Structure 1
Amino acid sequence: MKKLFPISAVALLALSGCETVVDVDTPPHTPRLALSYTLSNQPATPDYRAFFEVRDLFVSGSQGVLETRQLAGRQDATIQLFDESGQVVEQFRSKARSGSYGYYGQDSLYGYYVPTRNFVGVPGRTYTLRASASGLEPVEATLTLPAVPTIERAEFVVGTPTYGYGGRLTVSVADAAASADYYLAYARVLDRTGRYWGEVYPDYNAPGSDGPDINLGRFQLSSAYGLYSQYPFSDVGGNGQRLSFSSDVLLQYRGTYDPYNPVIPEPAFLEVIVSGITPDTYRFYQSLLRYYDTDGNPFAEPAPLHSNVRSGYGLFGGTTDAVYRISL
């Protein structure tokens, strides 16, 4: 099968502004299961799931590189997590609800799954995720959860942000010298009862800010809401040294809002979360950032996505979180 695509060559554009049409062979594609899930050492409480959306389990079928239709999730998958002894320690159920349809004719949570046993991963232990769905080859992936990072210090100094709540956040981590380690850093805000209040993100409008440009070699805050907002960091070149970052941040409320009583509760605590991640998790997010940075440029170098899912595509990620709470 062939499709026709207009390709504008730089040389032709420079000389004549002409456009030519050539035949391009459609790359062959065998549909396979694709998934994304991150196992952690934290219980999957409602507050945890509300914050760490990026770690949710999502399952779909793969599509060819030239396919333009909306990616559809699978709600018929069977997913199980096994420990080192082969015992099932976690099972997942689909979030999609029968008879519940959204704007596009299907449930808005179609393809997403939630754990049913609230299993908590143990650092140093090995786990295998297996998934299957009708008409596609079963897949599996294995990982070993890394050690818990050591947060030496975290400090928040209230400042005068461009708007809302904000200030200067400084974090220091003691990196272990005996191993190659990989990290992600997050921050969130809690209310006086310890419930999730909102997120923390860099204030790109602050004086001296580097802006939202991607820097793969910088230890910095990530967002827990999107795959494209993960900034993994490797200690290669600084193994065993103190890792730190300091940046102006904003605190954004993400709770309910009553228009008849528009009072936002006061934030009470800021929690810094430094996550030790597996090498595959680091490589996946690093490749995703590079892929995203090509921005559809047909002349950019190839940016293939890393996958550790055998017979399929995607990421079975692992993370161990260290939490440092600061009173506001």
Structure 2
Amino acid sequence: MRLSHFAPLALMLALLAGCEFETSVGIDPPPFEEALVVYAFPTPDSTWTVSVAKSLPLGSNRSYEVPDATVTIHEGGAVVETLVLQTARPEGEPTYSIQPSVYVSPTGATPEAGRTYRIEITAPGLPLASSETTIPLAPEAEVVSDEWTYYDEGGYNSRRLRVGLVDPPGDDIYELALLLREDYQEGYINEYTYRFTSVTPSFRRGYEFLDIDVGVETDAEYYREVVFRDALFRDRRQEFELDFDTYADEFATRSFAVAVGRVSEPFARYQASRRQQIDNESNPFAEPSPLYSNVDGGYGVVGAFTSVRIALPDPPPPALAAR
């Protein structure tokens, strides 16, 4: 074998060994300016509540609470409610345990469906932040049927729920969710969004039924909630089948409900961006996934929704239902 063929390669490697491949690019970022961060999801079922914080520079360990803000609710150009600070940080509590400052209505006032409100927040040394939202009207929904598809007394069971939804004229966005309440013998209560295993018609991405801007909340192959437009059943009635699994719990009484909501565009877009951010947070090659914001002069989201909650008592066991 003639080694002369490898001489050019050896020379190239020797030259490269003395090279430095580090490249630095100078970036001159704009000066950091603090701004208010606002989150509010008004609904007719709850008292006016607004969470307020402030943005901090990267690496800061300062508190982001804003206990001295003025939070006002406006309708038609007039102030209809001024919120008050719900709680203040206890003296000596470390700042890393602090949550955003929460402001609530001192009179227990609630938003009204069909009305448009503007939320304005001011705080010393920070620019005015504001956002506007219209409270959706309640959806017209009903439970058409609820039956066991598999039943084993005391074991794991499967249920199929059929929900009817009437869509009025115009563009609307809806949300479907299953809710589970567990009443434990010790006296405490646990409530959370439950998983359902399938929906018909399908809400998965790639189907025409979903607008690409409105995402789906999923957990592996299980849905926790779905947000969808009325594109394929506009101005008419549509029925949905929801399948879910359940089991008996010897330590708690379990009761289900289905929540059907009509949501605002900002609410839907925020949920979609939140889902995308969660999906991409562990992917170093993913594009940035900023959260949707509709707050002028600051950050955050003000998105309204109105929902109806329908209790789902357990259907009778198949043997009893057949009698």
Aligned-residue CA RMSD in angstroms?
A: 4.0
Deviation per CA, 1:96-135: give whole Å up to 9, x if none: 343262xx44654453334322222211111111112221
Whether 1:125 and 2:115 are equivalent positions in the alignment is yes
- The answer to whether the Cα contact below 8 Å between 2:116 and 2:133 also exists between their aligned partners in 1 is yes
Return the alpha-carbon distance in structure 1 between the equivalents of residues 39 and 189 of structure 2: 24
Return the alpha-carbon distance in structure 1 between the equivalents of residues 52 and 227 of structure 2: 23
* Aligned match of 1:244: 240
Alignment of 1:147-296 (within 5 A): 147-153=137-143, 156-157=146-147, 167-168=158-159, 170-190=161-181, 197-202=190-195, 215=205, 217=210, 231-240=226-235, 242=238, 244-249=240-245, 264-267=251-254, 269-295=255-281
Return the alpha-carbon distance in structure 2 between the equivalents of residues 26 and 243 of structure 1: 55
In the TM superposition, what is the alpha-carbon distance from 1:202 to its structure 2 partner?
1.1
Letter in 1 for 2:235: G
Q: Which protein has the larger Cα radius of gyration, Structure 1 or Structure 2?
A: 2
Whether 1:62 and 2:55 are equivalent positions in the alignment is yes
Q: Alpha carbons of 1:292 and 1:221: their partners in 2 closer, same or farther (altered >3 Å)?
A: closer
* Aligned match of 1:78: 70
In the TM superposition, what is the alpha-carbon distance from 1:181 to its structure 2 partner?
0.8
SS in 2 for 1:129: strand
Return the alpha-carbon distance in structure 1 between the equivalents of residues 271 and 297 of structure 2: 20
Return the alpha-carbon distance in structure 1 between the equivalents of residues 180 and 95 of structure 2: 35
Which runs of 5 or more structure 2 residues have no equivalent in the other structure? Answer: 1-19, 219-223, 315-323
SS in 1 for 2:117: strand
Letter in 1 for 2:141: I
* Aligned match of 2:83: 91
Return the alpha-carbon distance in structure 2 between the equivalents of residues 310 and 170 of structure 1: 42
Structure 1 length normalisation: TM-score? 0.67
Deviation per CA, 1:265-304: give whole Å up to 9, x if none: 423x422221111111111221222233222545434433
SS in 2 for 1:22: coil
Find the partner of 2:39 among 36, 41, 45.
Answer: 36
Which runs of 5 or more structure 1 residues have no equivalent in the other structure? Answer: 1-17, 45-54, 224-228, 254-262
In the TM superposition, what is the alpha-carbon distance from 1:245 to its structure 2 partner?
4.4
State percent identity of aligned pairs.
19
Deviation per CA, 1:6-64: give whole Å up to 9, x if none: xxxxxxxxxxxx984432525424321111111001034xxxxxxxxxx9632211245
* Aligned match of 1:144: 134
- The answer to whether the Cα contact below 8 Å between 2:89 and 2:98 also exists between their aligned partners in 1 is no
Find the partner of 2:24 among 22, 29, 33.
Answer: 22
- The answer to whether the Cα contact below 8 Å between 1:184 and 1:232 also exists between their aligned partners in 2 is yes
Structure 2 length normalisation: TM-score? 0.68
SS in 2 for 1:172: strand
Q: Alpha carbons of 1:289 and 1:265: their partners in 2 closer, same or farther (altered >3 Å)?
A: closer
Return the alpha-carbon distance in structure 2 between the equivalents of residues 291 and 297 of structure 1: 10
Return the alpha-carbon distance in structure 2 between the equivalents of residues 119 and 152 of structure 1: 28
Return the alpha-carbon distance in structure 2 between the equivalents of residues 93 and 146 of structure 1: 27
In the TM superposition, what is the alpha-carbon distance from 1:320 to its structure 2 partner?
0.9
Deviation per CA, 1:237-271: give whole Å up to 9, x if none: 44235152413245899xxxxxxxxx73423x422
